[in-house]
Amino acid sequence: MSSKTAVGSDETRKSLIEAFCLLYREKPLAKITVQAVTRKAGYNRTTFYQYFLDIDDILRQVENSLLDYIVQKRYSLEADKQTHSFIEDLVDLYQKRAVEVNALLGPYGRGHFAEILKQGLDLKFFNLDTDTNNKYRPYLIEFRLTSALNLFALWLSRGQDISVEELIELVTKLYHYNSGLKELADSRNNVGNE
């Protein structure tokens, strides 16, 4: 394949992904068809199937691509910088891939993407880990991850009405200075089931 053909191929794939993401931002996955994606992108169904198996496959590829990006970014950081805020990673990702982030954190994608993140991330790098014997650990992880995603999605939906720095400070204060969360995360007495 010549480099000119590869560039065209890459652009076609990106156009299909963008069309899918724009639709996913507006409607649930079950209501998105291959025909709708190809019509929006300006291609035919045959072209779609050169890149993707079906609508679930295009979603899976978008999610995996964003997850890979986050993981690669995390592991490329020096150990002392890996604990910076998860929200900063979302902001960085948004600045580079806004269409995809808007779709996955929109009203129809957020819950599904949160599950993908929980399955694919090493939670200790996101300040989401606690003592593994802490009975509240799954609840704390769920709270911190989903609240970060929801706060970020709210910030996007409100047109980024506060600065990135204010958003990061807000999330940091909610996570790190919330005495109830800190108490539950640090709880060594509350191990096991009662």
Q: What is the pTM of this model?
A: 0.77
Condensed to tens digits (0 to 9), the pLDDT of residues 23-60 reads 999 999 999 999 999 999 999 999 999 999 999 999 99
Residues across the chain:
194
Task: Report residue 64: phi and psi, to 5°.
Answer: -65, -35
Q: What residues does each domain of the chain span?
A: 1-52, 60-194
The CA–CA distances, whole Å, from 32 to 114, 142, 150 equal 20, 28, 23
**What Rg value do the Cα atoms of the chain yield, rounded?**
19
Q: Token pair for residue 33?
A: 């068809």
Condensed to tens digits (0 to 9), the pLDDT of residues 137-192 reads 778 778 878 888 888 889 988 999 999 889 888 888 887 777 666 666 666 545 44
From the candidate CATH numbers 1.10.3720.10, 1.20.120.530, 1.10.10.60, 3.40.50.150, the one assigned to the domain spanning 1-52: 1.10.10.60
Longest pairwise C-alpha distance within the chain: 65
